Amino acid sequence: MSAPCYHCGTPVPDGAPWRIVIDETPEPLCCPGCEAVAHAIVEGGLANYYRYRTELSPRPAADEARPQTWAAFDHPDLQAQFVHTGNGQASATLAVENITCAACAWLIEHHLNALAGITQSAVNLAEHRLRVSWDPAVLSPSRLFAELAAIGYDALPFEPDSAYRRQQREERMTVRRLIVAAVGMMQVVMFSIPLYVAGPGELDAGMDALFHWLSLALTTPVVLFSARPFFREAGRALVHRRLTMEVPVALAIGGAYLASLYAVVTRQGEVYFDSIAMFTFFLLFSRYLEARTRRRSGQSGNALAGALPAAALRLDADGGEQVVPASHLKRGDRILVKPGASVPADGVIEQGESSLDESMLTGEHLPVTRRAGERVTGASQNMENALTVRVTQAGGEATISAILDVTDRAFAARPALARLAERMAHRFVLRLLLVSLLVALAWSVIDPGRTFWVTLSVLVVTCPCALALAAPTALAAGHGQLKRRGVLITRADALEALAGITHVVFDKTGTLTRGEMRLTATVAIDDALEPPRARAIAAALEAHSEHPIATAFRPFRTPALAAERVARHPGFGLEASLEGATWRLGRASFAAGRALTPPEGPGLWLLLSEDGIPRAWFALEDFPREDALEAVDRLKTQGLCVELLSGDTVPAVERLAETLGISRWQAEATPEGKLDRLRALQAEGARVLMVGDGINDVPVLAGADVAIAMNGATDLARTRADALLLSPRLMRVSEAVEIARATRQVMRQNMAWSVAYNAVALPLAALGLVAPWLAALGMSLSSLVVVGNALRLTRRRVNP
C-alpha cells in the first residue's frame, strides 16, 4: 500500500485519483468523502488545521440520507426544542461527534464564523459541544448541520436533560463553596500564625482576642456554607442507619467548631479554626476534581437523544412527501424510506424490495433482504432501494422499546458493588467513635475537667482527613488519567468495579470488528480478466450503492469506468452494462445462472460474470480492528477470561474467535440470550466487563458489572454504559483495567497510611499528650502524603 490518506490516515488504494494540494504539494486521499472534506477545509482558507492538529481526523461518513435528517431539524416543532431565540438572534447548543483534538475546535469555529449570518460560535473541548448563535433570517438550522458535515463533523442538537442541569447546578455550587473555603482558609491560617509563633506573654490580650474573634468570624461561613454538604450527607447516612465517611468528617468539623466557639466565648481552651478551614478546603477540592474529570461528554445528558434519531418522509394521501420527526409518526402512516436512511418505525413493506442492515439490532453483519408484505424493524438501515412502509408500531410500542424493557430489568438487577472505601469507612468510623467514647469515660474518672478537651483532641487528631481524602484523590487522579487516554468514566464507582473484574465479554460487529466489509481476496477464474481490472469493474458496478458490500469495493473505484443501467436484485446481486457487455456481481447462482463452488477460504464469496461467463471471485470480510488481537492478548496476560458474544452467524463468529484466540464464544445470540449468558457467568461468581456498541448489546451492558461502550456506539448503548471509549482503539480497554487496578492500589496504600497514622496518633491523643498545633500539623501532613501518593497516578506515561 502507498502513503496513508492525508486526511484520515487510512491506507490509500493504489492508483486512487483523490488528491489535495497543500503548500503546492499534492497529498493523497483515500476516498471521495475525505476529498470533499479536505477541499472544503483548504478552500475555506483553513489549511492551517492540518498544521495544528495532533490527531488524525476521522473518516467522514458517506451517508446520503443525512440532508433529510437535517431538513427535519428545520421543522418548527423540533426547532422549538433546541433553538432559543431572542433579539433577532437564534442560538443553540450542538453535540458534535468526531472532535479529536484542539485543532478541531479551531477549524469548526473558523469555518462557521466565516459564514454569513453566524454571529458567534464556541466549541467546548471537554464536553464536545458547540454553542452557536446566528441570524435566523439568513440561516436555517439545517445549514449549520450541513456546514459541519462539509468539514467532517456530525452534529446533533443538544438540550440538557434534568439530570445534567442538576449536575451543572451542583457543580457551580461546589465551586462557590470551594472559593469560600479557600479564601477563609488563607485568612484564618494567617491569623493563627501569630498565635503559634508568639511566646507566652508576647501577644497582648487585646490582640489575642481580636485574632480569635476574627478567626471565628471567617471560619463560620466556611463551616455553615462550604462544609454544608458533609453535614447533609452525614445526616442522610445516619437516618438510613449507615456510617459513611461523612459522619466522622461532620463530627470532627462540627465538634471542633463548637469547641473553638466555646473557647473563644469563655476565653479558655484551644481553638482549631485553621484546621477546620484547611480540612474543609482539602476535602472539597479533591471532591471537585473527581467530579470534574467525570464530566459528561458529547451526547450523554442530552434530553433530545431519544427523540431525535431519525426524520421520516411521510407520504400524504395525494402522494406528496413531507419531512416529519420520527416521533410524530402514528400507526397507519405511510412512509418512504430512501436508500441509506434508517427506518424510523416498525412497519410492513407495502412497495419495494431492498436489503436492510439490522446489525445494530441483531449483530448480524450482513444485510437481510425484505420484500413487500414483510416486516421491517425500526432502527435498521435501508441499503439499496426506496421502500414504502406502512407503520405498525411507532414510538413506545416499537421493537426497540421492547429491548429497552429487558434493559431496565437488567439494570435493576445489577450486582450491587460493595465499595471498598465505604466498607472501610463503616468499620473505621465505628471503632473511632467507640474509642472516643472509651477515652471520654476514662478521663471522666481520671480528671473530669479535661474530659472534653482530650476527647476533642482525639477526634481532631484522628480526624479521618487522610482517610476521607484517600479515595477521592486517587479516583480523581485515575479518572483524569483515563480521560487523557480517551476513556471517559461516567458512573462514579465504575473505576472500582473495573479493578475487580474477572471476565471481559466482547460483542463482535462494531466492537471487535470495524463493522464494515473489506475485500480480502480476488481470484480470477481465467486469464481474460486480471484481478485489478476485475476489482475496478466490480467497483464501478457498486458505485452508487449504500450496501456494505459496495463500501468494500469503494477504494478500487477508477474514474475511467462507469456502469450504465444498473439494476439491483436484493438478496442476489446487481447487473449493469459496461463497455458493451452485461456484467453481474453477486451470488454464484445469480451471476453465472448456476451453482458454482467458490474457492477455499473464509469470508463471503461473490462472483463477477461477463455475459454469464464467470470471471472472478471476491472474498469479503468484516475485519477485526487493528489492535483487536493485541488488546485481547493483553487482557489475557492481565489474568482475565475473554469471551465473545455475538448475534452474528456461527461461521463468522467462530472465525473471528479463532483469529483473536478467544476460546469461549457464542454466536446467534439474541439480546435476551446474551443477558442469560451474562447471568450464568455472574452466577459462577464472575465479575464481568462488557464491551459493546449496538442496540442488541444494551441489555447486557446494563446487566454487566462494568460496561464500556465503543465510540461509535448507539446513544442507547452509551447511556447504559459506565464508560465510553473516545477513540476506536480496543487497547484502551486493557489500559483502563490497568489504571483501575493502579488506582485501587493507591487507594489501599492511602488507607493503610491513614490507618497507620491514626494508630500512632490515637494513643498519644488519648493520653492527653497532643497539643492543638501538633494535631493540626499532623493532620495536614498526613493529608499531603495521601494527595501526593494519588498524584503519582497522573504521572504514568500515555501510550499513543
Partner 1 sequence: MTILYLLIPLSLVLLGLAVWAFFWAVSNDQFEDLESPAHRILFDDDLPAPPTRRRPDATEEPPP
Would you tell me which residues interact with partner 1 (CB under 8 A)?
40, 42-48, 51-52, 102-103, 105-106, 110, 114-116, 122-127, 172, 175-176, 179-180, 183, 187, 207, 210, 214, 292
53 vs 242 by CB, closer to partner 1: 53
215 vs 381 by CB, closer to partner 1: 215
144 vs 707 by CB, closer to partner 1: 144
* Shortest spacing between CB 779 and partner 1, in angstroms: 25
Give the chain's length. 800
24 vs 684 by CB, closer to partner 1: 24
* Shortest spacing between CB 132 and partner 1, in angstroms: 14
Contact 108, 148 (CB under 8 A): yes
Orientation of helix 205-221 relative to helix 162-197, angle to 10°? 170
Contact 151, 108 (CB under 8 A): yes
Orientation of helix 399-412 relative to helix 671-683, angle to 10°? 10
Here the cell at position 427 is 468499620
Here the cell at position 738 is 490497568
* Shortest spacing between CB 235 and partner 1, in angstroms: 26
Contact 603, 624 (CB under 8 A): no
123 vs 779 by CB, closer to partner 1: 123
Contact 620, 573 (CB under 8 A): no
92 vs 335 by CB, closer to partner 1: 92
* Shortest spacing between CB 709 and partner 1, in angstroms: 22
Task: Please tell me the distance from the alpha carbon of residue 383 to that of residue 342, in angstroms, as a whole number.
Answer: 9
The kind and range of the H/E element at 587 are: none
* Shortest spacing between CB 21 and partner 1, in angstroms: 9
Task: Please tell me the distance from the alpha carbon of residue 37 to that of residue 30, in angstroms, as a whole number.
Answer: 12
48 vs 369 by CB, closer to partner 1: 48
180 vs 283 by CB, closer to partner 1: 180
* Shortest spacing between CB 66 and partner 1, in angstroms: 19
* Shortest spacing between CB 43 and partner 1, in angstroms: 5
Q: Which residues pair with 390 in a beta bridge?
A: 334, 348
* Shortest spacing between CB 277 and partner 1, in angstroms: 13
Here the cell at position 222 is 466556611
135 vs 374 by CB, closer to partner 1: 135
* Shortest spacing between CB 96 and partner 1, in angstroms: 12
Strands (E), 214-345: 311-315, 321-325, 334-337
Q: List CB contacts of 338: < 8 A, sequence separation 6 or more.
A: 64, 65, 68, 313, 382, 386
Q: How far is CA 343 from the centre of its chain?
A: 25
From residue 275, alpha-carbon distances to 92, 225, 529, 782, 785 in Å are 46, 16, 85, 13, 16
From residue 88, alpha-carbon distances to 85, 92, 115, 140 in Å are 7, 14, 17, 13
184 vs 378 by CB, closer to partner 1: 184
179 vs 434 by CB, closer to partner 1: 179
* Shortest spacing between CB 231 and partner 1, in angstroms: 21
The separation between the first and the last C-alpha atoms of the chain, rounded to the nearest angstrom, is 23
* Shortest spacing between CB 465 and partner 1, in angstroms: 24
- CA pseudo-torsion sign 719, 720, 725, 728: negative
* Shortest spacing between CB 218 and partner 1, in angstroms: 8
**Beta strand pairing call for 503-506 and 641-645:** parallel
Q: Which amino acid is at 209?
A: A
| DSSP string for residues in 313-327 | EEEPTTS-EEEEEGG
23 labelled catalytic: no
Q: Which of 640, 642, 647 is nearest to 628 (CA)?
A: 642
In the set 357, 507, 622, 722, the catalytic residue is: 507
Contact 313, 75 (CB under 8 A): no
Q: List CB contacts of 712: < 8 A, sequence separation 6 or more.
A: 510, 515, 693, 728
The kind and range of the H/E element at 581 are: strand 581-586
Contact 604, 622 (CB under 8 A): no
Q: List CB contacts of 767: < 8 A, sequence separation 6 or more.
A: none
158 vs 428 by CB, closer to partner 1: 158
| DSSP string for residues in 107-173 | HHHHHHHTSTTEEEEEEETTTTEEEEEE-TTT--HHHHHHHHHHTT--EEEE-B-HHHHHHHHHHHH
Task: Please tell me the distance from the alpha carbon of residue 699 to that of residue 720, in angstroms, as a whole number.
Answer: 8
Task: Please tell me the distance from the alpha carbon of residue 738 to that of residue 60, in angstroms, as a whole number.
Answer: 32
71 vs 102 by CB, closer to partner 1: 102
Here the cell at position 466 is 487522610
Exposure b/e, 72-93, CB count within 10 A at least 16 = b? bbbbeebbebbbeeeeeebbbb
* Shortest spacing between CB 302 and partner 1, in angstroms: 17
Q: Which of 172, 305, 724, 694 is nearest to 491 (CA)?
A: 724
- Phi first, then psi: give them for residue 557, nearest 5 degrees: -65, 135
SS3 274: helix
Q: Catalytic residues, which ones? A: 507
